[in-house]
Amino acid sequence: MTRLTLRRPDDWHLHLRDGAMLEAVLPETARHFARAIIMPNLVPPVVTGADAAAYRDRILAALPEGMDFAPLMTLYLTEDTDPEDMAAAHAAGLVTAVKLYPAGATTNSASGVRDIAKVASVLGKMAEIGLPLCIHGEVTTPEVDIFDREKVFIDTVLEPLRHRLPELKVTLEHITTSDGIEYVTEAQGDIAGTITTHHLMINRNHMLVGGIRPHYYCLPVAKRSTHQQALRRAATSGNPRFFLGTDSAPHTDPNKESECGCAGVFSATNTMSCLAHVFEEEGALDKLEGFTSLFGPARYGLPPNEATITLEKRATAIPYPEKIDTGEGPVTLFDPGHPLYWVVV
């Protein structure tokens, strides 16, 4: 197969930032993706309906003329979140989900949740009104090894939470372990999981062997090869509980390459080429449309996009740029470590 037409895909986990960075990276997503769940971890974070409305307006104002893209807004869950404001924003069609960051888990997560018991009333309201909870599933206690944080979170936070609120609609985002895959596959109730482009293509050896590669550093951090293989099997399985959330997260090169570099991989530009490569390797090109274009909308109660995109496999490698320029500085594009031959035409 050298040509593949899909319904236009959506991205169910995306960082657009703000200001000059937003203006630079938004077209990279909107070129291929019709919709995206927008992460709320700005500084200050998007915590109220008014915050979400203002951020949505800034995104739409930055969208280049002629591009068709719908931002799906989220609220940043804090221990001071007002359940009524949240419910009103959801009822108005403004907010698609709420994001749980354990405090200190990743970029701009300092305002996140330290004690899950303190957001019980908000989570109960979400379960009542059917508002999905998107979770960064890692504990942040210092005694837990960084490579074990996802599994410990599932055992000590997620499973007890879902036991208390079985009707809560949960998406475990950017799964990185076989433990996360197994949990989402086998758990009872309303749960799904997103998988990123880069975690399908790299493991921790790519980041660490032969020298540290800061542009592969992300949170949750890439795990060992056996976990990567579990992610690839899940993504290409046709199981509707698993769908694409790129977690494309731009940082300027100085912020990535510093003594204490930021976590995040920017993959918006070449994600569809990367995914076609992975699905072809797994003998599952027929499953790509479900993963990118069908299962996510079904999860969030939206119709699949009517428009389509076509991928074509070329005889020569696609010349993606190494970096994109932004008003804040250069941002390095995810490098899968080998040539890509599939391209959106």
| Dihedral (Cα; 219, 255, 251, 143), 10-degree rounding | 10
236: amino acid identity, one letter:
T
Q: Which helix (H) or strand (E) holds 76?
A: strand 70-76
Known catalytic residue at 148:
no
Nearest to residue 256, comparing CAs of 202, 141, 183, 333? Answer: 333
CA angle 246, 263, 22 (to 5 degrees): 60
31 and 69 Cβ atoms separated by less than 8 Å:
no
User: At residue 50, what are phi and psi to the nearest 5 degrees?
Assistant: -65, -40
Residue 126 vs residues 11, 38, 82: alpha-carbon distances, Å? 22, 18, 11
Cα–Cα dist 176/199, whole Å = 7
Cα–Cα dist 180/192, whole Å = 10
Catalytic residue chosen out of the listed positions 247, 253, 286, 335 = 247
Nearest to residue 69, comparing CAs of 79, 56, 81? Answer: 56
Q: How many CA atoms lie within 13 A of 196 on its CB side?
A: 34
195 and 231 Cβ atoms separated by less than 8 Å:
yes
Cα–Cα dist 268/249, whole Å = 9
User: At residue 99, what are phi and psi to the nearest 5 degrees?
Assistant: -110, 125
Nearest to residue 313, comparing CAs of 279, 337, 290, 269? Answer: 279
Q: How many CA atoms lie within 13 A of 112 on its CB side?
A: 23
45 and 23 Cβ atoms separated by less than 8 Å:
no
- Active-site positions read 247
